[in-house]
Amino acid sequence: MTAGAEAAPGGVVGGGPYGVPQDTGEAFDLAAANLTVTIGYGPGLFDGRFGLADRRPEALRELPAFAGDDLDPARSGGDLCIQACADDPQVAVHAVRNLVRMGFGVVAVRWSQLGFGRTSSTSTAQVTPRNMFGFKDGTANLKAEDPVALDEHVWVDPAEATGGAAWLAGGSYLVARRIRMHIEVWDRSTLQDQQDTIGRDKKVGAPLGRRDEFDEPDFAALGADGAPRIPVDSHVALAHHSNLQGVRILRRGYNFTDGSDGQGHLDAGLFFIAFVRDPFRQFVPMQQALARADRLNEYIEHTGSALFACPPGLRDGQDWGAQLFG
C-alpha cells in the first residue's frame, strides 16, 4: 500500500465474483500519496496474556493523571497503535481499514481519530503550520536536519533498551493526547488575550517582544507595565525547554474536527502526537507544568490519552512484529 498497490495482489476484483475481495477498493485508482504506517505497542500488550511480560520496556507504563484531565476511556489506551499518514486522507483511511480487516476475529478497534493539517514542522524546509486557534504551532520543534538532537531526545538508546526490551533500541515512544479546543470561547477573546495566552505574536509567530518567528524568546524582558513581556503562565513560557531543564520533544500533531457536540459547539481541537526517548523524563514533566499553570487551560481540555512504544523501521524483507515477536 505504501507503494500505491492493492493490499494484496489483485485484491479488489482478482478473486472473482464469488471470492471475498482482499482489498476494500476505495484507493484503487489513487496514488500512494506518500503513505507511511507506524506501528506501536501499548502497555497492556505486556500484561501476561501473550507471554510478553519480560519484554516490556521500563518506560512503557500508564501515564499519570494530570490536573484538568477529562479523559474518555473509550478514546484512551489500547494494546496496538496504527498511525497512517498520507497526503490524501482517503489513502490513509484505506490503509487502516485494510489492516483492521486483516485482523478481524483477532483484534478490534478500540478508538480512532482522523486528523488533518499537520500542526508542527519537522523539517527546516517546511513552513510552520497553524493550529485551530490560528497560531503557529511547534516553532521550536526538533528538526530532521539535527540528528544529534534527535538522538538525544527522540530515539531510544540501546543502553536503555536492555534485556527483553532490546527490540525497542533505535525506536521511540509515541504519546497521543486528544485535546478538545473550546473554539467558540477562544473566538470571542481579544487578540491581546490570545497572544498573552500563547506568548507569541499571532501574525508572524514571533515571541512577544521580538520580531521574527525563530527569535529566541526573552523571558526576562519587561513590558511598559513592568510585567514580563511574555507572561510567566503563557504556553510558550511553560513549555520552552529553557524552563524545563532542557526537556524537548518531537511534535507531530494534527488538527481535527469531529462534527458538533450536540450543543451548538464544534467538537474540534488538536490531536497531539509526540515522539520521545523517554515519556517520563520528557512528556510527563512538561505536561505537569502545563496542567498546573498554563493560561491556555481556560480554552482546552484533554479528552483522550495513550502511550505506545514504536520499534525502529523495518529492514528489507522483515515483517511487522519481527523485532518484538521474532
pLDDT digits 0-9 by tens, 284-319 = 999 999 999 999 999 999 999 999 999 998 888 888
Residue 92: domain span: 1-39+79-110
Based on the fold, state whether residues 106 and 201 are members of the same structural domain: no
Residue 32 domain-assigned? yes
Give every CB contact of residue 226 below 8 A, 6+ residues apart in sequence: none
**Residues 115 and 177 sit within 8 Å (Cβ to Cβ):** no
| Claim to verify: residue 15 and residue 71 sit in the same structural domain | no
Q: Same structural domain for residues 243 and 282?
A: yes
56: in domain: no
254 inside domain: yes
249: phi then psi, degrees, rounded to nearest 5? -140, 160
Same domain, 127 and 35: no
Instruction: Note whether 222 and 237 are same-domain residues.
Output: yes
Residue 122 and residue 267 in one domain: yes
Collect the ranges in the chain with pLDDT lower than 70.
none
- In a shared domain, residues 312 and 211: yes
Beta partners for residue 180, in sequence order: 269, 301
Looking at the domain assignment, is residue 125 inside a domain? yes
> Is residue 35, in this structure, part of any structural domain at all?
yes
- Looking at the structure, tell me whether residues 239 and 179 fall in a common domain: yes
pLDDT at 33: 97
In a domain, 49, yes or no: no
162 and 294 co-located in one domain:
yes
Is position 185 within any domain?
yes
Query: What is the pLDDT, as a whole number, of residue 40?
Result: 97
Q: What phi, psi does 271 have (nearest 5°)?
A: -90, 90
pLDDT attached to residue 302: 98
Number of folded domains in the chain?
Answer: 2
- Regarding whether 146 and 23 lie in a shared domain, the answer is no
Radius of gyration for the alpha carbons in the chain, expressed in angstroms and rounded? 21
- Write down the pLDDT at residue 101: 96
Q: Are residues 321 and 231 located together in one domain of the fold? A: yes
Q: Tally the C-alpha atoms within 13 A of residue 22's C-alpha that lie toward its C-beta.
A: 11
Q: What is the pLDDT of residue 323?
A: 83
Do residues 106 and 120 share a domain?
no
The pLDDT, as a whole number, for residue 325 is 84
Asked if the structure places residue 47 within a domain, the reply is: no
Contact 142, 250 (CB under 8 A): yes
